[in-house]
A = this chain, B = another copy of it.
Amino acid sequence: MKVLVVGANGQIGKHVVSFIKDSNNLEAKAMIRKQGQASLLEDLGAETVLVDLEEDDIDTIAKAAQGVDAIVFTAGSGPHTGPDKTMLIDLDGAVKTIEAAKVAGVKRFVMVSSFDTTREAIQAAPESFAPYVVAKHYADVWLRSTDLDYTIVHPGGLTNDKGTGQVQAASEVERGKVPREDIASVIVGCLENESTIGKEFQVVTGTTPIQEAIKSI
């Protein structure tokens, strides 16, 4: 199964590509924005394709997705840019990727969302965080409205700690932290488990081995 990783050079993305390399039946196509990001990802065994998620259109993304079997969306504008990029990457970049999946005929789609993207979470969010929640809310709503084979992963507070390999995952879990490395492992686990199709769940660090947690979703 060939997987287009959108945001492959991101902090979760690199782990995803790395786990795909270690898997038996997956191979990665890393979608990146700059040529300078290619060598690292090629060293991790991935084919690379250059696309600017902000500047490029749906057809360009669809071309990158041509011939893959699944798409993972783990791109994000990051904490060092403003809400203008949140609008253009986290919302519109996600929707363009979803539409590109349709154009390219790629059914399987794994979305890395935010912990809580409900309407209630928008209203409850601190002012500085609210635009991000709005963006992720509408991206999730858009994906749910498609007939793609989607899974939406809602991670807790992301850390750069080493993965523990153990999580708590369910439709609703108590808010907590989780290493990016474990989220990458969860994403790859979703790709390997068709039982996660049409589902979404929150994930934080826990006591259940990731494979087991995914099978219980």
Residues of A with Cβ closer than 8 Å to B? 55, 57-58, 82-84, 86-88, 91-92, 119, 122-123, 127-128, 130-131, 134-135, 137-138
- Residues of chain B within 8 A of A119, CB atoms compared: 57-58
Q: Find out whether the CB atom of A92 lies under 8 angstroms from the CB atom of B122.
A: yes
Interface of A, secondary structure class, is helix
Instruction: State how many copies of this chain the complex holds.
Output: 2
Check A92–B134 contact: CB distance below 8 A. yes
Instruction: Say how far A124's CB is from chain B's closest CB, in angstroms.
Output: 10
Min CB distance A76 to B, Å, is 15
Residues of B within 8 A of A82 (CB): 82-84
| A131 interface neighbour in B84, B123, B138, Cβ under 8 Å | B84
4 tightest A-B CB contacts, nearest first: A87-B131, A83-B84, A83-B83, A84-B131
* A82 to B84 alpha-carbon distance, docked (Å): 8
Docked pose: A137 CA to B99 CA in angstroms: 15
Q: Give the one of A84, A127, A134, A137 with max B CB within 10 A.
A: A84
Which residues of B lie under 8 Å from residue A83 when comparing CB positions?
A: 82-84, 86-87, 131
B88 contacts A87, C-beta separation under 8 Å: no
A sample of 6 more A-B contacts (CB under 8 A), given A57-B123, A84-B127, A92-B134, is A82-B82, A83-B83, A83-B131, A84-B128, A84-B131, A87-B87
Q: How far is the CB of A59 from chain B (nearest CB, A)?
A: 11
Q: List 28 A-B contacts (CB under 8 A).
A: A55-B123, A57-B119, A57-B123, A82-B82, A82-B83, A82-B84, A83-B83, A83-B84, A83-B86, A83-B87, A83-B131, A84-B127, A84-B128, A84-B130, A84-B131, A86-B87, A87-B87, A87-B130, A87-B131, A87-B135, A88-B130, A88-B131, A88-B134, A91-B138, A92-B122, A92-B134, A92-B137, A138-B138
What is the bound-complex CA distance between A128 and B84, given in angstroms?
8
